[in-house]
Structure 1
Amino acid sequence: MKISQTGIKLIQQFEGCLLVGYKDAVGVPTIGWGHTGGVVVGQRITQAKADELLKQDLKRFEDAVNKLGLKLNQNQFDALVSFAYNVGPGNLKKLVEGRSLNQVADNICLYCKAGGQTLNGLVKRRNAEKALFLKPVPVANPYPGHPVKQGSTNTIATKLIQKVAGAKVDGVFGPQTTAAVKAWQKKHGLAADGIIGPKTWSKMF
């Protein structure tokens, strides 16, 4: 997975962007959007360079979250990338190790200290990350509420189904669409009945 714009904005909100190298709350030389690799206090960079460093850093922390092997939705993934960006992959591993996703959410807010002191900025960031982690992700194509099958008049749902099943996208659920759906169901280990019920819909979308 890759971080979304929502996650990037959260990181940018709490990191801020300074184009001159400085020492952070625990004395680590930092520049741009919280970048810490090879930074010299007082050095200067452009905004374009700061944005480039952010992209490079995000890739590293995306990889750290992906390596956890957890089944995450986009909001959960974004929250953990932000968390790792701030406290490092080591603390990320400690956060999730042996815990359910609900327990992970509950423990995010424990990581609000720097140099042994609780920092208000970290408290706010952890609360924002927890809120994002727990925020449901809207379903792009919600189930229409009843099975879609041959003869259906739901042209919008039929077109979505036809596109996924590889049938001609015309909004008409006829024999050809039924055949394409049956083949798709069989390929994906579902009952090949040509009817789009909740299980097939969930698998498709």
Structure 2
Amino acid sequence: MTMQRRLAIAAAGATLSIASVVVANFEGLRTKAYRDPVGIPTICYGHTATARIGQTRSQAECDALLRGDLGDALEQVDRLVTVPLPVERRAALASFAYNVGSGRLSGSTLLRKLNAGDAAGACAELSRWVYAGEEKLPGLVQRRATERELCEVGL
């Protein structure tokens, strides 16, 4: 394995470690399925893909779901972003994509600014994503402030 490949793997590990802390902090661990603020069945650390009301999961299962879902979110960020990203910015975007979905990231002004080389403008866009439906949620305001702080490291 080349040194470049080893460094890429280490960077991905660092990114996932940082993003995992952010996601776990803001999503919280709920081992029994519930409806999120817009009514979507959710379990564990914000997992929605296979969540069903009445379902329960162990913490180990939830941790595995978080790793898989966050890995998927990071892959989508890497697919969509065409400019190099420092670890912190990549972690912020992985947390963001985990929360809103890569489809919403893909059509966003945030992504357009980032890929145009306007990292500061892209990071500022995070502060606009604080609504669930029509309701501004304090938890999303806090989450986006944390993601923005990470995104702006080094700017």
> One-letter code of the match for 1:91?
R
Write out aligned runs for 1:83-122 (5 A).
83-93=96-106, 94=108, 95-99=110-114, 100-122=118-140
Deviations 1:114-159 (A, max 9, x none): 011111000000000000111239xxxxxxxxxxxxxxxxxxxxxx
Per-residue deviation, 1:90:
2.0
| Structure 2 residues without counterparts, runs of 5 or longer | 1-10
* TM-score (ref. length: structure 2): 0.83
> One-letter code of the match for 1:102?
A
Q: Distance in 2 between matches of 1:70 and 1:62?
A: 14
Per-residue deviation, 1:113:
0.2
How many residues align? The count is 137
| Structure 1 residues without counterparts, runs of 5 or longer | 138-205
Per-residue deviation, 1:77:
0.2
* TM-score (ref. length: structure 1): 0.64
> One-letter code of the match for 1:11?
V
Q: Distance in 2 between matches of 1:96 and 1:130?
A: 14
Match of 2:7 in 1: none
Per-residue deviation, 1:42:
1.5
For the pair 1:44 / 2:62, whether they are aligned, the reply is: no
Runs (4+) off by over 4 Å: none
Q: Distance in 2 between matches of 1:8 and 1:21?
A: 20
For the pair 1:65 / 2:80, whether they are aligned, the reply is: no
Q: Give the helix-richer structure, 1 or 2.
A: 2
Match among 38, 42, 45 for residue 33 of structure 1 = 45
> One-letter code of the match for 1:97?
R
Whether the aligned pair in 2 keeps the contact of 1:113 and 1:122 (CA below 8 Å) is: yes
Match among 134, 141, 162 for residue 152 of structure 2 = 134
Whether the aligned pair in 2 keeps the contact of 1:19 and 1:47 (CA below 8 Å) is: yes
SS of the aligned residue for 2:51 comes to coil
Provide the alpha-carbon RMSD of the alignment. 1.5
Q: Distance in 2 between matches of 1:70 and 1:31?
A: 33
Tell me which of the two structures has the higher relative contact order, counting C-alpha pairs closer than 8 angstroms and 6 or more residues apart.
Answer: 2
> One-letter code of the match for 2:87?
Q
Per-residue deviation, 1:6:
2.1
Match of 1:80 in 2: 93
Deviations 1:37-58 (A, max 9, x none): 1211111111110011111101
> One-letter code of the match for 1:38?
T
Per-residue deviation, 1:98:
4.1
> One-letter code of the match for 1:96?
L
> One-letter code of the match for 2:35?
K
Match of 1:124 in 2: 142
> One-letter code of the match for 2:23?
I
Aligned identity (percent) is 34
